[in-house]
Structure 1
Amino acid sequence: MREVSDLRFPTEWNPAARLLKRKIIMHVGPTNSGKTYSALLRLQEADSGVYLSPLRLLAHEIFERMNKVGKPCNLVTGEERRYGVHDVNGIPDPLAAKIVSSTIEMANLDRKVDIAVVDEIQMLADPDRGWAWTQALVNLPAKEIHLCGEPTVVELVKKICALTNEEVIVNHYDRLSKLELQEESLRGNFKKIQKGDCVVTFSRKNIFAVKKAIEEETGLLCAVAYGSLPPESRSSQARLFNEPDSGYDVLVASDAIGMGLNLNIRRIIFEAVEKYDGSVVRTLSLTQLKQIAGRAGRFGTDYAVGQVTTLAQGDIPTLKRALAIPMIEINRAAIQATPEMIEEFSVQMPGAPFSHVLRMFEMMSRNSPLFFPALYRNMIATAEIIDKIEMPVRERIPFIAAPIQLRNPAVVDAAVKMAGAVGASKPITVDEVVHVPAEGSREEENLDLGKLESSHRIIMLYLWLR
């Protein structure tokens, strides 16, 4: 069991990557510095390649961009597949496009490519999802890998690549547009909101309350963007805000704008610098504050100089300190066991609940100083809700990796139904786990936004597991 749970040598997990003499190129700099643009130009030139995204929305964007410039590209996410090449009858040809845009958790570690672009590489330190970035860095079988992100991760990447005997080339980028801190806040006055402003707050309730207040006090229409909003809706709202003649001149958003949306923002206004993280209210991290603030201003537009401030004067010192302090170096990367390791480990504990197997694996695993185990908290919590369902371990593993929102009872109930069907080897349709009212019906008119979002999450979970 000690041997199976040994996570100290992740560079040995994919021999195919070690057989390649990979070239690692880093593009590092702040938001609005053009670092990802440079890497994508290289991908456009490639005979074969992959773009790995932190968000489904961003994977969509690159999929559309590549196909628009005449570079056939497929899309691969947990929920869907789209193809860039179709025959004369409109039937897709999955093998025709040699470029793939994918969410990072769906990275194909068996497909050899010429060029790989991994976006937001600093995410390898994220305790929940960072393992996917570490896995891509260490195990992608690509001749040339372009890593885009913050300078804070450069030394860690060099140390990891030293284990694989690979050289790292670092390209530094400066911000293309100037960012200014306005030390005078709005002092709670929404009438000071102007066209091109983005107000950042951290709950759906606050987003719509702020939207209502701004529209009532200024007459300006507001678009909205937040994490629970489906990616397609977020993209639509972003287009409304970006189009000068749409009538939507202000954006009210959560920290979801930190990644994945191209926005033409004049000024970022923090409604607060604290957020509830599911257990406690905490001040946003230095990285979060800098990344969100950096969305203000865009090179080559009317907003070439970005501005940032707060709604409350008391939050100005926190924001000023965050923008002034250098970013903290990242010194460890998240790592997670492969499904094969977990399955082999579980064989040593016949009859034990799968949640207990995961706890034991976490407790017994060994890690090197460069890596830390990704938090098993959500995986264990998910395993607990399906522990009583008879199911082979191989079929449990996709469930513990699935995007199940554990705080949402409707999503949890749907996940249990799906697990029960898998355990019983019976088919289950999406209509059996979620009820969507007929379009134009009275029932549809009475649906609130929370129920609609839950229904969307259940449908996305069904597609992910399918």
Structure 2
Amino acid sequence: MPESLLERVPRGADSDAAYTGFVEWATDRGLSLYPAQDEAVIELVSGANVVLSTPTGTGKSLVAIAAHAACLAAGGRTYYTAPIKALVSEKFFALVDIFGAENVGMVTGDSSVNPDAPIICCTAEILANLALRQGPDAVVDQVVMDEFHYYGDPDRGWAWQVPLLLLPRAQFLLMSATLGDVTDLAADLTRRTGRPTALVTGVERPVPLHFSYARTPVHETVQELLDTRQAPVYIVHFSQAAAMERAQALSSIKIITREQRDEIAEEIGGFRFNTAFGRMLSRFVRAGIGVHHAGMLPRYRRLVETLAQRGLLRVICGTDTLGVGINVPIRTVLITALTKYDGQKMRQLSAREFHQIAGRAGRAGYDTAGTVVVMAPDHEIENAAQIIRAGDDLKKQKKIVRKKAPQGFVNWTEQSYDRLVAAEPEPLVAQMQLTAAMLINVIARGGDVFANVRSLVFDNHEPRSRKYELARRAIDIFRTLRAAGVVEVVDGSIRLTVDLQPNFALNQPLSPFALAAIELLDPADPRDVPNAPEKDAAFPAQSGHGGVGTGHYALDVVSIIEATLDDPRPVLSQQQFLARGEAVAQMKRDGIEYDERMEALEQVTWPKPLEELLAQSFEVFATSQPWIRDFELSPKSVVRDMFERALSFGELISVYQLARSEGLVLRYLSDAYRAIRQTVPSEAQTPDLLDLIAWLGELVRQVDSSLVDEWEAMTNPQDLDPAAPVVPPAPPSVLTNRRAFNVLVRNELFRRVQLAALQRDDELETLDPEVDWPGVLDRYFAEHDEILTGGAARSSALVSIDEADAAATGVWKVEQTIDDPAGDHDWRIRGEIDLAASEEAGTAVLRITEVLRL
């Protein structure tokens, strides 16, 4: 058994021993260092900073491991930072495997695992806030910054700059394939740290790239690449829709052999493709075609990555997001366009973006060369086809009418392609920002606050004019903080008047506001209880403590938490689209004129529960905590919408047509689950809220257990199984979490109540064909004007579950009492839960047996 890295490079090893031990460890694993890697490792163990700007595939991750090992040998503490949480968690698990669970921790903003470990994986923002709070005294001996080109990101670049400014004790390893000229940055780093800074750049790729410009249609180009053994081919698109359309189009050509199809089917086995997108993906991967983009469920992305790593997928249709730290072996990159929409306009790719994408081609240890093919625009491809059809016939050549680029089309040509291939990545441009949270962290550090702020504002990488803008911004923020009483000046000394929580600005920044807002709600709100005497009259919505909210405490808590989370834009856009459609239909029925309808539509948006209460509370909170204004409160209803309408994940995706965004939706639900669990204090957790939390966690787990399992595995990394299977395992039985399953049962019953309240006979008959729903509703509405669906109507007190004969029959008998306006409660919906079918489906399978009046 080869020695571990820590055995090869033990604590106390000098620079020579650290270098020798690392090289021996790498050799034990069949790895020989490239010259660039060797140079970087020598500089690191010697104590120098290193800027490692080498092409993709030159082993930057191995250099980072050497850096961590050298730091631990010297008894230091080292931080690894990356731009996205997914990459941070991936690196966390990789480093646990190498250094052991006790030596590696992680902080990402919503997770904190082993935070006192000597190696910490975190997002760049986490380290930046730590540097602001502790400055030169921070216990940070080394910083490894991956994907360092994010330094030039307009929104997040500040987080890559701040550690360079404020951690002079640290040794830095800055890594990216596309940095451009960093001479000035390296000189500044040497000035600040007193260490020499080595530039390891301009290295020849171990796997050279061959570039070409194609004027043949994509399917013909792909076929030629397959025929000439240039697979696997990654086809790059700049939208998820285009990637899906390409996969669909390519499924008509023969990508793999019958034997390869059988091998894929055997590897996939019983993998659950149980969503709309999953059923499409199943068809594609069985044909040797993968799909890869950020909107997919994690388990689908991992399946595609693993099948690709095993050489089973010959074509992958995806987006340009593959370039950030994803380990998928690719021989050929086929780029379908040299333009992209950047959120504001269509523009040509920058040299940095182009080389980030192209650099994925060519696998060290597998390929002798990589191939990069850039497609010409469609009109140019059609012109080339006309010329080929004309052949040598001069008459036909003269008749050719060359197509031009469509009006408004951002064009590219072979000259554009040549320029990008030859171009070096653009120089990085500093993107410093200053917010109230940043300033509060600096003030909290103590010492000479004025000097510390002045240094941050004027001794950075910005041009002179920008520094003066930052200075004016700092003065404005300081005045606001002082007016709010958060900051005071005593005998010329600036100090905070409040105690900051230890993780201020590190975790969910709006969590303190959420806690304050939850205190406005009353867990014992009578509107939540059927037949409460004070119901409705004494507790009008938003009328003061105990009556604030909508009448359902648990759901109102969820709405407060949801308002603090990042917006899942695809969901909100679809909610708004459907809401406007319903509003137009209603206004047409009301006879409202077109112009008036269009004006009114501007006010229709997605559901925003507690919007007025949250806005008022936010303003009050901000008067004493003005830093909160750095962050935007965004009321929305996704989790609440699902729960109120008793929607499953699949139904949510179907209702809002979100098949291409399943992963984004599930990630939001997972974030909401963790935020509720972490933010709401135990004394504010009612049984209904605990039920809702259990339901949400089980919903996420049943759709894709990897999200919840990964989070929980982080707290016990030593329990990880290193021999991960090709196919992620199925989630545990939905019957295991009894509390969550009971909520699923209640939701299925309440779905019938809601549909009955809306008198949707057709939908009810589809769900329960054996029940005469039209007749039932006629009889009910002959007695009552409506079916209530408020907080009291969905109370657990109105549901009974009989498990008495379950062992023998495999069935639970269930009953839902309908909440009528008179409070008679004599109408019941009765049914059976098929336990075996529920376990198979991952949700409660209900059959209604009767609806009756007692």
Scaled by the length of structure 2, the TM-score of the pair is 0.41
Counterpart amino acid of 1:292?
A: I
2:338 is aligned, of 273, 282, 287, to 273
1:420 is the counterpart of 2:614 = yes
1:104 is the counterpart of 2:124 = yes
> Could you give the per-residue CA deviations for residues 27-53 of structure 1, whole angstroms, max 9, x where no partner exists?
122222223421222214432322101
CA shift, 1:278, in A, is 2.0
Residues 118 and 146 of structure 1 are in contact (CA less than 8 Å); yes or no, is this contact kept in structure 2? yes
SS in 1 for 2:194: coil
Distance 2:296 2:432 in 1: 28
Counterpart amino acid of 2:292?
A: A
Distance 1:69 1:328 in 2: 35
Distance 1:165 1:113 in 2: 13
> Could you give the per-residue CA deviations for residues 381-421 of structure 1, whole angstroms, max 9, x where no partner exists?
xxxxxxxxxxx9x9999359964456763699689869939
Counting aligned pairs with the same residue, the percent is 20
Distance 1:256 1:153 in 2: 24
1:66 is aligned, of 56, 74, 95, to 95
Distance 1:139 1:232, change over 3 A: farther
Distance 1:95 1:326 in 2: 39
Distance 2:180 2:318 in 1: 26
Residues 119 and 148 of structure 1 are in contact (CA less than 8 Å); yes or no, is this contact kept in structure 2? yes
Look up the match of 2:219.
Answer: 189
Distance 1:46 1:417 in 2: 50
Residues 403 and 461 of structure 1 are in contact (CA less than 8 Å); yes or no, is this contact kept in structure 2? no
CA shift, 1:289, in A, is 0.5
Look up the match of 1:13.
Answer: none
2:194 is aligned, of 159, 166, 170, to 166
Distance 2:213 2:318 in 1: 22
Counterpart amino acid of 1:283?
A: Q
Distance 1:274 1:452 in 2: 26
> Could you give the per-residue CA deviations for residues 68-94 of structure 1, whole angstroms, max 9, x where no partner exists?
12433223223334x4xxxxxxxxxx2
Look up the match of 1:362.
Answer: none
1:456 is the counterpart of 2:666 = yes
Counterpart amino acid of 1:143?
A: A
Counterpart amino acid of 2:371?
A: Q
Residues 32 and 299 of structure 1 are in contact (CA less than 8 Å); yes or no, is this contact kept in structure 2? yes
Taking the TM superposition and a 5 Å limit, the aligned residue runs for 1:410-449 are 420=614, 423=618, 431-432=639-640, 435=643, 437-438=647-648, 448-449=658-659
> Could you give the per-residue CA deviations for residues 349-384 of structure 1, whole angstroms, max 9, x where no partner exists?
xxxxxxxxxxxxxxxx976783277999xxxxxxxx
Distance 1:416 1:63, change over 3 A: farther
Distance 1:214 1:334 in 2: 45
SS in 2 for 1:307: strand
1:224 is the counterpart of 2:291 = yes
Look up the match of 2:461.
Answer: 370
CA shift, 1:296, in A, is 0.2
Residues 24 and 166 of structure 1 are in contact (CA less than 8 Å); yes or no, is this contact kept in structure 2? no
Distance 1:80 1:415 in 2: 27
1:33 is the counterpart of 2:131 = no
Structure 1 residue runs without a partner (length 5+): 1-21, 84-93, 346-364, 377-391
Distance 1:326 1:450, change over 3 A: closer
CA shift, 1:279, in A, is 2.1
Distance 1:38 1:434, change over 3 A: farther
Aligned residues: 394
Look up the match of 1:215.
Answer: 251
2:417 is aligned, of 319, 329, 338, to 319
Look up the match of 1:198.
Answer: 234
Counterpart amino acid of 1:299?
A: A
SS in 2 for 1:158: helix
Look up the match of 2:625.
Answer: none
1:398 is the counterpart of 2:509 = yes
Distance 2:305 2:169 in 1: 33
2:359 is aligned, of 284, 289, 294, to 294
CA shift, 1:263, in A, is 1.8
Residues 126 and 334 of structure 1 are in contact (CA less than 8 Å); yes or no, is this contact kept in structure 2? no
Scaled by the length of structure 1, the TM-score of the pair is 0.71
Report 1 or 2 for greater relative contact order, CA contacts < 8 Å, sequence distance ≥ 6. 1
Distance 1:158 1:339, change over 3 A: same
Counterpart amino acid of 2:374?
A: T
CA shift, 1:100, in A, is 1.6
Distance 1:114 1:340, change over 3 A: closer
1:307 is aligned, of 366, 371, 376, to 371
| Greater Rg by CA | 2
Distance 1:236 1:142 in 2: 43
Residues 153 and 331 of structure 1 are in contact (CA less than 8 Å); yes or no, is this contact kept in structure 2? no
Distance 1:460 1:142 in 2: 38
Residues 104 and 133 of structure 1 are in contact (CA less than 8 Å); yes or no, is this contact kept in structure 2? yes
SS in 1 for 2:71: coil
Structure number having the greater helix percentage: 2
CA shift, 1:189, in A, is 2.9
Distance 1:409 1:431, change over 3 A: closer
Counterpart amino acid of 2:417?
A: L
Distance 1:289 1:231, change over 3 A: farther
Look up the match of 1:54.
Answer: 83
Look up the match of 2:111.
Answer: 80
